[in-house]
Structure 1
């Protein structure tokens, strides 16, 4: 190679032919179409009759593969550090090492088929730097929407690492919200109850007062930011929903009544079912027995809560909490989460929407999560149809972000 070495391409041109299109909106694939991509966005979707496959000219025959929007993971932590040796190693990284560690996680996340993430508490502001680096083409990764640091009470959930900011009282919480928005946060994350990973708390421990939640939510909304909350017990969730909470993370102990309240208020749920079914992951990290026991024992109630949400018509959204790319039970953690969502009662076409267009709608990003003219050409391909069985995503063999192919296992685009 002669001449200057460019940064990674962030936008590309291509024509994809001989495919079955799952657009993130319709419940079944469409046949006989081609996708024309210009400068990273879908310019046209047209009959697949006018194009001849030619890699040199950017026209690629996908051999009948199913193409769908790239996955949008709404609960991601690139700097996750759970109790135990694995988490301790992450917490011991200096700021430079942490940035590189997170960049590697972002690259692996993209290659797993996740083209957009919502980060919901990251350490030391490194998420903002990572977002800029990805947008500039310095490192490979998904599109990032981030909450910056989560807000918790003194000693609250996540207080022992710097991915949270301890705030007590309405004034302090207001300042906390504003501080994350000033740093560049796209949304705000609150820790309103205990959880699985806190040794000195229970899932049911309420951790923010009504005044604190009200201050956080009203301040964030005034600045045009939505609010999501780590939350387990029904009572604290109900109180936050009545105050205007936009999304619940986990929702371990919902009731039918609280699920109905969420549906009535348009409050979404990111269930993260995999986190109460993650023994192999915990073993990989050396997570202590007290946390493993709390997680696994919460599993049946967690699944009941998810089903209450489905029955009530709550908008459920994909979120793995575990690193999306993690090699877990024969697939990636993000695909395993989607399989749990289907097994728990959500039909496969709706699981596809929960992983694509529904998260994009929550994010206010109408050019993501769908394959339609004007949308970003963020997509994945696989041999089988995920609207028939979401386990088809175990076969992802092509990933494109912004019209740039970043993974091509099947060699269809060379």
Structure 2
């Protein structure tokens, strides 16, 4: 009985209770970033899982169809750096479902995101939002959340100084490894999935305070003990070095202050099996943006995996076009960008057996575009016609 209940819980957490049957018919299908497209193909989803992909499929009676001439079908997109920190998410447990669905469409699902990683928010709101999504009451992406990030002692970033005192009081500032361990445990007890550290906290635009290495290691060890990935906001050389030496898994941003970050150091990051989320739109107005792009490209050239993320939610502009444009300017081709959106995060989150590709047995998560990214125009990734999660259309452009 216990095994059965555990299996049932896993199905619900993976697919929600609103998994549906759907057939996407007569589309161009990219089954993975490295595979050639299959033209005039169909994708059949039953009970939320992909059961067939290819040409000349027989669609069972009663299955809803999406005629998709001119569509380009891809695996559901991930955004691995978002925040549910805006006031509109307050009291998510009780807001009308229609309002939450609309807000999720405006922020995320209109851009094709079927899975997102929240790297800092009030977990009482975000976990309630996730619960309502997974129940099928609200249409939205799957959410991983870090809950409350950890900051260096007495070093809250300058852009959070004006937050309400009640919010500032929630922000974890461990002074010892034991305090860091306790704060990570507290987040985990609330139902969080990943750990977020500010290993380089911007006290003023010219003053970055690194987190102590022993505190980083304590937080990382506790996160890893519970099977959680650890993300870091690095900012500069010292913040990035502390993250690397402390065992952090993912740089939540490219470093924006590149002084001292050379090829040899980037090679060390790669050797430590770190992943980077560029968030280039965030830095697009920086005078040094060209060098930040070059550092991202060099990291990738040396074998460092990249994941797509934008800091959406901290950035109130929800348009993804600038992120795709900057990635193109960094020299990344559409297949590399598609991997950032699909297979790379699925692999890093250890869910590649059911996410990241359009293949039999995978979750029925699809991002369906009106344009082909292979055209060379990075804005093609923004032309989302449908977003499908577990066979359920959670966004349509018309």
Give the TM-score normalised by structure 2. Answer: 0.83
Residue of structure 2 equivalent to 1:78? 84
User: Which residue is 1:192 aligned to?
Assistant: 199
Q: Which residue of 1 aligns with 2:13?
A: none
> What's the offset of the Cα at 1:155?
3.1
Q: State whether structure 2 residue 357 is matched by structure 1 residue 370.
A: yes
Q: Is the 8 A contact 1:38 1:403 kept in 2?
A: yes
Does structure 2 retain, via aligned residues, the 8 Å contact 1:78–1:106? no
- SS of equivalent to 1:381: strand
Deviation at residue 408 of structure 1 after TM alignment: 3.0
Inter-partner Cα distance in structure 1 for 2:304 and 2:320: 21
Secondary structure in 2 matching 1:205:
strand
- Match of 1:125, SS state, is helix
Answering whether residue 340 of structure 2 is matched by residue 354 of structure 1, we say: yes
Runs of at least 5 residues in structure 1 that lack an aligned partner in the other structure:
1-7, 81-89, 279-295
Q: Deviations over 1:100-129 (max 9, x none)?
A: 487654343123311110000002531111
CA deviation profile, 1:3-58 (whole Å, cap 9, x unmatched): xxxxx973110122211111234243222432111111111223325459x9x642
CA deviation map 1:131-176 (0-9, x unaligned): 1111012222110011111011233244645373222111111111
Match of 1:145 in 2: 144
Alignment partners' CA distance in 2, 1:44 and 1:405: 18
**CA distance in structure 1 between the partners assigned to 2:68 and 2:206 by the alignment:** 47
SS in 1 for 2:264: helix
Listed as ranges, the gaps of 5+ residues in structure 2 are 1-15
TM-score, L = length of structure 1: 0.80
Aligned to 1:290: none
2:300 paired with 1:310: yes
Contact 1:310/1:346 (<8 A) preserved: no
Task: Tell me by how many angstroms 1:232 deviates.
Answer: 1.3
Aligned match for 2:104, one of 103, 106, 126: 106
- Is 1:96 matched with 2:91? yes
One of 39, 46, 63 as aligned partner of 1:31 = 39
Whole-angstrom distance in 2 between the partners of 1:167 and 1:138: 38
C-alpha contact (below 8 Å) 2:152/2:201 kept by paired residues = no
Give CA deviations for 1:50-95 in whole Å, capped at 9, x if unaligned: 459x9x6423321131101121000000214xxxxxxxxx3xx794
Count matched residues: 365
C-alpha contact (below 8 Å) 2:75/2:366 kept by paired residues:
yes
Matches within 5 A, 1:11-410: 11-51=19-59, 57-80=63-86, 90=87, 95-96=90-91, 100=95, 104-108=102-106, 109-123=108-122, 125-158=124-157, 160=161, 161=163, 162=167, 164-195=171-202, 200-202=203-205, 205-250=208-253, 251-252=255-256, 253=258, 254-277=261-284, 296-323=286-313, 333-366=319-352, 367-389=354-376, 390-409=378-397
Following the alignment from structure 2 to structure 1, what is the Cα–Cα distance between the partners of residues 42 and 92?
A: 43
CA distance in 2, matches of 1:391, 1:134: 29
Does the CA-based 8 Å contact 1:187-1:226 persist in structure 2? yes
